[in-house]
Chain A
Amino acid sequence: MRVLVADDHSLFRDGIVSLLEAAGFEVVGQVGDGQSAIESAQLLRPDLVLMDITMPEMNGLEALRQIRFVLPDTKVVMLTVSEDDSDLFEAIRLGASGYLLKSLNADEFLEMLEGLSHGEAVMTRETTARLMRGFADLADLQETAPDRLSPRELELLQLVAEGLSNKAIGQQLSVSVNTVKYHMKNILQKLGAQNRTEAVMMAIRSGLIKPESSE
C-alpha cells in the first residue's frame, strides 16, 4: 500500500514513517500541513493518506474534504490526539476511512491499516462506541428537535456556532441582548443541553446547523 503521511510534528512523522516502512508499507511522501497534503496527494496518488487534524496553513479536516473531492478513491485515515467528538463526527461525515488516536500502540495501528485493504473501517472499539453513541443521540435529536426548535432559534443557534457573542447576535438579528438570552434559555431547555456549547454540538451532530458559516 502506498502511503502519504501528513503531520506537522516532524519527529512524530519520522517515527511513523519508520514504523510503516518496517512493516512493508511504501511511504511515497510526507508533508507538514494540509495544503501540502492536497498537493502531494494529487501528485503522488497514494492509496492512503494518514492525516493529522491540527496542522498549520490548512487543518486536516479541510484537507480531507478536498482530497476526497479530487481523489475519491484515495482513502484518508485521521491520525490525531483529538478525542473531541466533533472532530470524529466531522471526519466521518467528510468521508474519512478511519479515525485513530496517537495513543494507540504500534502493533494495533499497523494491524488496523492492514484491515483497510480488506475494506474494514480503521477504528478502535472505543472510537466505534463513541460513534455509535453519537448516531444514537443524533437519531433521537432528529426525531424531536426540528419540531421543537423554531426557525428563529435555529438561526440564533447557527450564529452561536459561528462564535458570535450575544451582543453580536442581537445586532445581527436586530433584537436586544435580553431577547437573545431568552431564546438561548429556551433552546437549552428544548434540547436538554447544559450550556450553549453542548447545544451547538448537539445541533451540529443532528445536522440542524452547520459547524461554521458556509459563506
Chain B
Amino acid sequence: MASPRVVILSGQSLFTEGVASRLREHISQLELKVIDPRGTGALEQIKDYQPSAVILDSADPEVAEVCPLNEILMAVPAVKVLQLDPRREQFQVVTSEEKVAGLVRDLVDVIMPSD
C-alpha cells in the first residue's frame, strides 16, 4: 500500500503541529506537509504535492479565502478533504470524482445507483 500523503491546512500552528505529531504516531509511513494559508501559494503547494488527503481547518477564515474547497478539488480531483472544525470537534469528509461527460448517459450512470 502506498504511503498516505497528507496536507494539513491551518494557520493555527500549535494545533496543526499537535495533530501532525499525533498522526505520525498512528501512521508510520505518513508523508505529511503542513501549509499555512497565510503563506504564499498555498493552493500551488497543494497542487504540487498531490496529497491523498487534505485536512483543513474550517474554522479558519483564511483557509476558505485562500484555498476554497472547489479549487482544492479542481487541483487534486481524487483527494479526500477532511473539513475539520476544532471547536465543534467534528469533521466532514468531502470526496470528488472527475468523469468524462460526452453523453447524457454518462450523467445517468452516476445518478442511478449501481447494482
What residues of chain A have their CB less than 8 Å away from a CB belonging to chain B?
9-12, 14-19, 22, 102-106, 109
In the docked arrangement, what's the CA distance between A105 and B18, Å? 10
Residue of chain B at shortest CB distance from A13: B18
Bound Cα distance from A109 to B15, whole angstroms: 11
Query: Could you tell me the distance between the alpha carbons of A105 and B87 in the complex, rounded to whole angstroms?
Result: 19
Interface residues contributed by chain B, number (CB under 8 Å): 16
Once bound together, how far apart are the Cα atoms of A15 and B21, in whole Å?
A: 7
In the complex, whether B14 has a CB less than 8 A from a CB of chain A is yes
B36 closest partner in A (C-beta): A105
| Residues of B contacting A12 in the complex (Cβ-Cβ under 8 angstroms) | 14-15, 18, 86
Main DSSP-derived SS at the A contact region: helix
Offer 27 A-B interface pairs, CB within 8 angstroms, sorted by A: A9-B86, A9-B89, A10-B89, A11-B15, A11-B19, A11-B89, A12-B14, A12-B18, A12-B86, A14-B18, A14-B22, A15-B14, A15-B18, A15-B19, A15-B21, A15-B22, A16-B18, A17-B18, A18-B21, A19-B14, A19-B18, A102-B12, A103-B11, A103-B13, A106-B13, A106-B14, A106-B21
Q: Which residues of B contact A9 (CB under 8 A)?
A: 86-87, 89
Could you say which residues of chain B place their CB within 8 Å of the CB of A103? Answer: 11-14
Q: Point out the residues of chain A lying under 8 angstroms from B21, CB to CB.
A: 15, 18-19, 22, 106
User: Any chain A CB within 8 A of the CB of B17?
Assistant: yes
Closest 3 CB pairs of A and B: A15-B18, A106-B17, A18-B21
- 17 further contact pairs, Cβ within 8 A, besides A11-B15, A12-B18, A105-B14: A9-B86, A9-B87, A10-B89, A11-B84, A11-B86, A12-B86, A14-B18, A15-B19, A15-B20, A17-B18, A18-B21, A18-B22, A19-B17, A103-B11, A106-B13, A106-B21, A109-B14
Q: Closest approach, in angstroms, between the C-beta of A51 and any C-beta of chain B?
A: 14
Tell whether B25 is near chain A: CB-to-CB under 8 Å. yes
State how many angstroms separate the Cβ of B77 from the closest Cβ of chain A: 28
Point out which of A15, A16, A105 has the most chain B C-beta atoms below 10 A from its C-beta: A15
Q: B18: which A residues are within 8 A, CB to CB?
A: 12, 14-19, 106
A176–B17 Cα distance when bound, in Å, is 56
Q: Which residue of A lies closest to B90 (CB)?
A: A11
Task: Please name all residues of chain B whose beta carbon is closer than 8 Å to the beta carbon of A18 when the two chains form the complex.
Answer: 18, 21-22, 25
Chain B residues near A102: list those with CB within 8 A.
12, 14-15
Provide the bound-state CA to CA distance between A14 and B25, in Å. Answer: 12
A14 to B21, CA, bound (A): 10
Return chain A residues, CB-CB under 8 Å to B86: 9, 11-12
A20 → chain B closest CB, angstroms: 9
B 54-102 contacts with A by CB, 8 A: 84, 86-87, 89
Q: Is B13 a contact partner of A104 (Cβ separation < 8 A)?
A: yes
Of the listed residues A12, A103, A104, the one surrounded by the most CB atoms of chain B closer than 10 A to its CB is: A12
